[in-house]
Amino acid sequence: MAYAPANSPEAFIAHWSRSGGNERANDASFLNDLCGLLGVPRPDVSTADEGGAYVFERRVSEVFTDGTSTPRSLDLYRQGYLMLPGWVTPG
């Protein structure tokens, strides 16, 4: 049976509580459903330059106090509003 996007918080919770915590496989679908439930626009299509004002998987650099940096990715980015990091710090 095909999944119909949730139209209530209860339906959203019931559907997504079955996901088993497989974050990488479900994050874009989860966030698209959450946007629909909240009545806000869904993210734009990502472009080849990996930029965009409202996209999934936005590339960023994490800069450390010693001046070094490491590439990272934000699961969801909306310029001026939201950053949802997609990494977990070990430890």
> How confident is the chain (91 residues) per 10-residue block, as mean pLDDT?
72 85 78 90 80 84 94 87 65 40
List % helix, strand, coil for the chain (3-state, nearest 5): 25, 25, 45
Q: Report how far residue 35's alpha carbon sits from residue 44's, in angstroms, rounded to the nearest whole number.
A: 12
21 within 8 A of 65, measured Cβ to Cβ? no
pLDDT value for 76 = 87
Contacts of 51 (CB under 8 A, 6+ apart): 58
Contacts of 20 (CB under 8 A, 6+ apart): none
Phi and psi at 72, nearest 5°, equal: -140, 175
pLDDT value for 64 = 96
43 within 8 A of 56, measured Cβ to Cβ? yes
pLDDT value for 63 = 95
CA Rg value for the chain: 15
